[in-house]
Structure 1
Amino acid sequence: MVETKDHIIIVGAGAAGLMAARELSRAGRKVTLLEARERCGGRIHPLAESAFAYRADAGAEFIHGEAPVTYQLLAETGLSAQPIEGTRWHVDNGVASHTDPADRQLGRLHEVLAKLDEDMTVTALLDRHFAGAEFAALRESVLGMVKGYDAADPDRASVFALRDEWMGGDRGGQARIVGGYGALLDHLVAECRARGVSFVFQSVVTAIESAADRAVVRCADGRTHHGDVVILTVPLPLLPTLALPAAMHSQVAASADIGFGNVIKLLLRFERRWWTAMQAHDLSDMLFMLSDAAVPVWWTQHPNDHAVLTGWLAGPPTRDFAALDEAMLIETGLAALADIFAKPVTVLRPALVAAQAIDWAKDPFARGAYSYATLATRDAQDVLTQWEGGPVLISGEALYRGRDMGTVEAALASGLATARRILAA
């Protein structure tokens, strides 16, 4: 391989890697993007439209909060975002309601959070301030949010980080990209290709070495790539699996101080939207359904009329399902829907048109879904982002310091910041 000045090698063609590649190639740098899979996107994974009648997302689906980098990209590409709308339902002891049983105690939670002057884990917060039986519903709601939304372990999750998330004021709500994240992904890939970025797929990186102020990247199939700088954008659980320069050992060790949670996502397409014809309630505008079923969270594509229900199981509870294959996960999802809607599985199963279950912990190039903040995360981020002009930088959603760590916005912002750091140097 011809070695040229200002050659940047990026490991991982997910959101962070693509964003960095775009920025660097725009500045005239030579960029090689190594990707272990046969596709771009990483934990953004659009599915074929033929399966679900739209380009469904097996991975990231929503835009969270203000997301300035994401919305700037959408503006550049002419894509649009549709704010999510609809009704949120809760099922408690078989009774469906618009009201979360914990709502009446949220004021007390916010009072306690506002007065905290020392960080602690979510478990410690609940044990210290909400241990009484009268707070049972609040504890269940908080734990459900921490595990389900943040994919976090309450025994490790930082209350200060979640306080910012819960009490951050107007953050712009949530939205979906019209056409899914795949549409945005297509644009990034196309622009990178147009600017000469070289994509090398099925490149499983095993080692990065420093040699004469340059970098050598070694792959499992024996291929090597030489460059001036390497941007490493792999998910955190993969860092310890790589042979990295000795100077980076402290960074690898620090990565253990950032939480990384798992998600099991189920997409079930039916012949029709049967949930809109339930006798007890008008669910025609249902967006979310939350319950204590085995798969506790479900959502629709409202206001679009796709006959698809998406199931979501996240955080530590996913470990209980680790032994299940895809078919068994789909059956678990059907059983959960039968429990929630009091509709027999024997009626639901024949009405199923397409189904897919994705356990992100079983993806060898992800080993989970996304990161979350622990008590030690901010210090760990300081260590992981250290760069004194050496051959390797680390980038990705886990290094984002904003309120929406773990999101696509976090990955895009981190990739952009890393690229600009190289250009400034």
Structure 2
Amino acid sequence: MSRKKTLSRKKFLQQIGLGIGAVGTGFFFPNVLAAGIGSTKRSGAPKKILVLGAGLAGLSAAWELRKAGHEVTVLEARNRAGGRVSTLRKPFAEGLYAEEGAAAFSGSYTHALKFIDEFGLEKTPWAMPEKPIIYHLNGEKMTVAAGETVKWPYEMTEEEQKLGPFGIVNKYLIETLPKEMTQPDKWDQPPLLQMDKVSLGEYLKNQGASEGAVKLVKNTMWFAAMPDETSGLSTAVSDFGLFMSGAPFFTLKGGNDLLPKEMASRLKDHIKYGSAVTAVKDTAEGVLVTTTEAGTAKEYKADEVIVTIPVKVLQKIRFEPELSQAKRKAIEEMPVLNLTRTYLEVDRPFWQDEGLSGLAYTDLLLGQVEPHINQNSPDSSPAILDSYVTGETAGNLGELQEKDVINEVKKQMKKIYPDVDEHFKKGHVKAWSTDPYALGGPSWPGPGDVSSYLTDLQRPEGKIHFAGEHTSVLRSTMEGALRSGVRAANEINQNS
């Protein structure tokens, strides 16, 4: 189909209400990512391999290595698998849950789909809101129904006012991004490489977007939360070329963590939880990994190692010999996205009394608001209002005590739902920047960071290999993490 095929305004408004961007881009971009990264067979004798980290990257690496006949042990600091794929069930009412990290899958996630289908996990389509959405922007609160024309509170051209958020994305991004965005292996070649030189904000303005239009996109699109600190290349390849080329989007019924849980259950004899890595030493005889387990140091030996630990945590691990200067620089300077989510459990989805969807986009401290409802009894059971905050504000929130964050978010939430206090039951906060095994959300390259650091982040050093979403051009995606693990496993298989 033509990349410039248009959808109805009603469809646009429904799609922008998803909170994950433009669902309709599946109509514009052919999904040419299906081939993904294939696995390879072992070319020599089996080896003893240590995989550091049981997130999706570590699990996929272990899976491939086990399939190739290697002896594999996964060392995981937490008491669970999944890393930043984490579904929150406690302390909420029975049957109620919300995602702490990775929010949704795309139909373009070939590696994820391979596991999801093999395990028989049930998909839940990401429902498009039919009811009105609340916007609180530039001091003005608006309730917008699908198909309704509104006056957006920013200085924009007459055309941009008529287009609205999704129409602006369509005009300045969808219709202008190079077709190579669906070919991630070409990230280091023109025209994609040039896109890494500019921020998303600069790119939009270069296409003719006004300052007000950029602000509107910033406050209504998750991928544009930090437009001046986001690589145009990352937006093109990861957000549009990968994620949005694979509509329809979906979650896993029961929680997205069911994928890593199922992978881990089938590797259970090969995963050691509560093993926090402190040092990695490459020797002539192999690799020696030191961990702390229940306060006691322990050593593991292997022929080779795959490190899938988040990039900020990686800075705290001692390597012998010291990693190359280029590798250290890449690890130290690759940005990550600060992310703080605050969950307010309420006695029921009271916003439905006013015929609202529960979804809100704001430039307030509480960021974007998403509702989570018990699907078994959606009208009367307890529900959640989830405040999703990124960037500097998220970092500042994360430094506060939980009760103070909940109180502040509740105070801000009253600007959206004035009677939230009457329904509030309990709150919970997840600040990824204070999680000792993450120290932030996913990698979030700024202008120039992909071309400066990605190759060095991927490159093995001696017998030490590296994976994780931060080593993939498909940054901040579950698919990027899975593919990175396969890539690292292939490096070992090809040299075995």
TM tier, shorter chain?
0.7 to 0.9
Preserved CA contact (<8 Å) 2:107 2:249: yes
Deviates more, 1:314-323 or 1:268-277: 314-323
The counterpart of 2:61, out of the listed 20, 29, 34, is 20
Q: How far did residue 71 of structure 1 move?
A: 1.2
Q: Distance in 2 between matches of 1:322 and 1:186?
A: 27
2:449 maps to 1:376: yes
1:187-226 to structure 2, matched below 5 A, reads 187-193=262-268, 196-197=269-270, 199-220=271-292, 221-226=296-301
User: Could you say which residue in structure 2 is the equivalent of 1:68?
Assistant: 110
Q: Distance in 1 between matches of 2:436 and 2:253?
A: 29
Q: How far did residue 387 of structure 1 move?
A: 2.8
3-state SS of 2:92 partner: helix
User: Could you say which residue in structure 1 is the equivalent of 2:32?
Assistant: none
- Could you report, residue by residue, the CA deviation over 1:96-122 in whole angstroms, capped at 9, with x for unpaired residues? 114684435445523894489643123
Q: Distance in 2 between matches of 1:387 and 1:162?
A: 26
User: Could you say which residue in structure 1 is the equivalent of 2:183?
Assistant: none
Q: How far did residue 175 of structure 1 move?
A: 1.2
Q: Distance in 2 between matches of 1:205 and 1:18?
A: 17
2:123 maps to 1:81: yes
2:173 maps to 1:110: yes
1:127-276 to structure 2, matched below 5 A, reads 135-144=210-219, 148-149=222-223, 153-164=226-237, 168=241, 170-193=245-268, 196-197=269-270, 199-220=271-292, 221-244=296-319, 245-276=321-352
User: Could you say which residue in structure 1 is the equivalent of 2:5?
Assistant: none
Q: Distance in 2 between matches of 1:155 and 1:73?
A: 36
- Could you report, residue by residue, the CA deviation over 1:200-254 in whole angstroms, capped at 9, with x for unpaired residues? 2222212111111410111243211111111111111122221113344421212
Letter in 2 for 1:206: T
- Could you report, residue by residue, the CA deviation over 1:328-382 in whole angstroms, capped at 9, with x for unpaired residues? 22222222221113x14xxx33523342110000001101111123323144221
Gaps of 5+ in 2: 1-44, 153-163, 179-189
The counterpart of 2:431, out of the listed 359, 370, 376, is 359
Q: Distance in 2 between matches of 1:171 and 1:19?
A: 21
Q: How far did residue 321 of structure 1 move?
A: 2.0
Q: Distance in 2 between matches of 1:183 and 1:21?
A: 17
Q: Distance in 2 between matches of 1:250 and 1:91?
A: 44
2:458 maps to 1:385: yes
Paired residue total: 402
Q: Distance in 2 between matches of 1:353 and 1:174?
A: 31
Q: How far did residue 311 of structure 1 move?
A: 1.5
1:37-56 to structure 2, matched below 5 A, reads 37-48=78-89, 51-52=92-93, 53-56=95-98
User: Could you say which residue in structure 2 is the equivalent of 1:417?
Assistant: 487
User: Could you say which residue in structure 2 is the equivalent of 1:97?
Assistant: 144
Q: How far did residue 156 of structure 1 move?
A: 3.3
- In structure 2, relative to structure 1, the CA distance for the partners of 1:301 and 1:125 (3 Å cut) is same
Q: How far did residue 316 of structure 1 move?
A: 2.7
2:360 maps to 1:289: yes
3-state SS of 2:229 partner: coil
Letter in 1 for 2:309: V
The counterpart of 1:332, out of the listed 408, 428, 451, is 408
3-state SS of 1:222 partner: strand
TM-score by length of 1: 0.85
- In structure 2, relative to structure 1, the CA distance for the partners of 1:159 and 1:371 (3 Å cut) is same
- In structure 2, relative to structure 1, the CA distance for the partners of 1:257 and 1:173 (3 Å cut) is farther
- Could you report, residue by residue, the CA deviation over 1:35-72 in whole angstroms, capped at 9, with x for unpaired residues? 12222221122333662423432222311451111111
Q: Distance in 1 between matches of 2:287 and 2:239?
A: 42
Deviates more, 1:137-146 or 1:80-89: 137-146
Preserved CA contact (<8 Å) 1:22 1:191: no
Q: How far did residue 399 of structure 1 move?
A: 1.6
Q: Distance in 2 between matches of 1:324 and 1:406?
A: 25
3-state SS of 1:340 partner: coil
Q: Distance in 1 between matches of 2:481 and 2:280?
A: 22
Preserved CA contact (<8 Å) 2:395 2:433: no
Q: Distance in 2 between matches of 1:150 and 1:263?
A: 14
1:340-355 to structure 2, matched below 5 A, reads 340-341=416-417, 343-344=418-419, 348-355=420-427
User: Could you say which residue in structure 1 is the equivalent of 2:200?
Assistant: 122
Letter in 2 for 1:139: V
Q: How far did residue 166 of structure 1 move?
A: 6.1
Preserved CA contact (<8 Å) 2:217 2:224: no
User: Could you say which residue in structure 1 is the equivalent of 2:33?
Assistant: none
3-state SS of 2:372 partner: coil
TM-score by length of 2: 0.73
3-state SS of 1:63 partner: coil
2:72 maps to 1:31: yes
Q: Distance in 2 between matches of 1:105 and 1:233?
A: 37
RMSD, matched Cα = 2.9
User: Could you say which residue in structure 1 is the equivalent of 2:21?
Assistant: none
